[in-house]
Amino acid sequence: MPATITTGEVHTMAQLIAELEAIASEALAELEDAQADANRATELAGHLEVTHASLTALDLDTDTLAAVGALSDAVDARRAAAEARAAAAELAASQATDTAQGVRARHQLMAEAHAATPHAADKAFYAEV
């Protein structure tokens, strides 16, 4: 999944909204990828668990069982990492989406208030209050 390349520099509200929406879009794509990876890792761990149980039931030698057990440990670590990545991606996607929506809503209210004010004074007028 290639990242959208931007400078991140913002000079207008339109640029801010576009930047936040791009970040949210990338975060949602990352979430989808991370969830798929976690599903694959969980499936692999389950298959290896069945394999280890089957070999144990066959009373295979301890070296083989130990080797498959060590592989299980590595696969379990991968699964845990994939689940952590998916959880972090879910948080980032949620925050990115909420941020974009919140900024849009707040600034829409400000734009409406400014448009409804017949003659708004320059902001500098209020600087000493």
Confidence of residue 114 (pLDDT cuts 50, 70, 90): confident
pLDDT of residue 64: 95
Structural domain that includes position 100 = 13-113
**Is the pTM value of this prediction over 0.85?**
no
- Higher-confidence residue of 27 and 117: namely 27
Residue range 89-103, pLDDT digits in tens: 999 999 999 998 999
Is position 120 within any domain?
A: no
Give the CA distances from residue 51 to residues 41, 48, 68, 72, 82, in Å, rounded to whole numbers and listed in that order: 15, 5, 8, 10, 21
Is 119 part of a structural domain of the chain? no
Residue 121 falls inside a structural domain: no
Domain count, the chain: 1
| Domain assignment present for 17 | yes
pLDDT tens digits along 21-73:
898 899 999 999 999 999 999 999 999 999 999 999 999 999 999 999 999 99
CA atoms within 13 A on the CB side of 74: 6
Give CA–CA dist 96/108, Å, rounded: 18
Domain assignment present for 90? yes
